[in-house]
């Protein structure tokens, strides 16, 4: 990011458990992430750090895509921080990131980088067919842009009220007819119907306990991709990297 002639970045260090703001001229401000630090306190201290560096910027301080609705400066309810759990989650993300990059290298079409969504903390990568998708009626501007073209997305996240356990997932948008009739691998993978559409799911614990976790996850990703791509009529051969 850049503000007032200064390039800067804001990072969460999940090894040392701190928030860091670093500028291109070598200045740095840090904040320890500790249990008991509320969202409101974090927000206040982050702005103080930015002000010290002369780069206090406007931040959209409102939750997006999560059940909470309290603006960050007012949220004193959420103040838990389990450093050990955070570190375990980071280790899982680090491993999954490597497998997702391997999977990405098999696709010759346009696709997103492997990235962490800032609202739900799912690590994801999305492939595109190259064809425009029908507009989604009543969608917000973020959703309209995200689904302007046919996509098959893959991800890993810690779960929510619909899926109460860490899982790998995939969905095809727009969803083609007969998607849930397609077979997924391995055998423990399943289709789940949600209000937003069909989700291919494979629990994280299945992958973790597999004799070859990497091969198991790649098998799931490939099967979910072929399920969506075949059902939607993508040019599977033309979008594949030759080996």
Count up the domains in the chain and report the number: 2
Residue 238 lies in a domain: no
**Same domain, yes or no: 101 and 197:** yes
**Same domain, yes or no: 159 and 106:** yes
Give the largest Cα separation in the chain, rounded.
57
Domain around 198:
83-232
**Same domain, yes or no: 59 and 168:** no
**Same domain, yes or no: 106 and 192:** yes
**Same domain, yes or no: 114 and 159:** yes
**Same domain, yes or no: 131 and 163:** yes
What are 10-42's pLDDT values in tens digits? 999 999 999 999 999 999 999 999 999 999 999
List, in sequence order, the alpha helices (H) in the chain.
39-52, 83-104, 141-146, 204-209, 213-232
The mean pLDDT value of the chain amounts to: 94
The pLDDT of residue 241 is 83
Least confident of 25-29, 163-167, 175-179: 163-167
Cis peptide preceding 202, ω within 30 of 0? no
The pLDDT of residue 122 is 92
What are 61-115's pLDDT values in tens digits? 998 877 889 999 999 999 999 999 999 999 999 999 999 999 999 999 999 999 9
What are 217-235's pLDDT values in tens digits? 999 999 999 999 999 999 9
**Same domain, yes or no: 182 and 221:** yes
Q: What is the pTM of this model?
A: 0.89
**Same domain, yes or no: 220 and 100:** yes
Angle (CA) 208 18 116, round 5°: 45
């Amino acid at each position: 990011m850049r503000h007032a002639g200064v390039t800067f970045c804001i990072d969460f260090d999940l090894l040392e458990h701190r928030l860091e703001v670093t500028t291109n001229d070598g200045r740095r401000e840090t904040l320890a992430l500790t249990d008991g630090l509320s969202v409101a306190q974090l927000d206040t201290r982050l702005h103080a750090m930015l002000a010290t560096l002369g780069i206090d910027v406007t931040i959209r301080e409102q939750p997006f895509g999560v059940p909470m609705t309290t603006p960050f400066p007012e949220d004193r309810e959420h103040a838990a921080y389990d450093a050990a759990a955070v570190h375990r989650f980071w280790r899982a993300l680090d491993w999954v990131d490597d497998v997702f990059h391997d999977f990405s290298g098999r696709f010759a079409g346009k696709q997103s980088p492997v990235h962490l969504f800032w609202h739900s903390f799912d690590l994801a990568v999305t492939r595109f067919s190259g064809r425009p998708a029908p507009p989604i009626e009543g969608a917000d501007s973020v959703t309209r842009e995200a689904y302007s073209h046919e996509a098959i997305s893959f991800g890993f996240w810690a779960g929510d009220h619909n899926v109460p356990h860490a899982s790998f997932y995939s969905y095809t948008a727009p969803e083609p007819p007969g998607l849930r009739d397609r077979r997924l691998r391995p055998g423990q993978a399943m289709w789940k119907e949600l209000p937003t559409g069909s989700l291919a799911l494979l629990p994280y614990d299945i992958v973790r306990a597999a004799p070859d976790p990497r091969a198991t996850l790649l098998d799931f990703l490939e099967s979910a991709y072929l399920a969506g791509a075949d059902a939607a009529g993508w040019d599977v051969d033309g979008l594949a990297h030759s080996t």
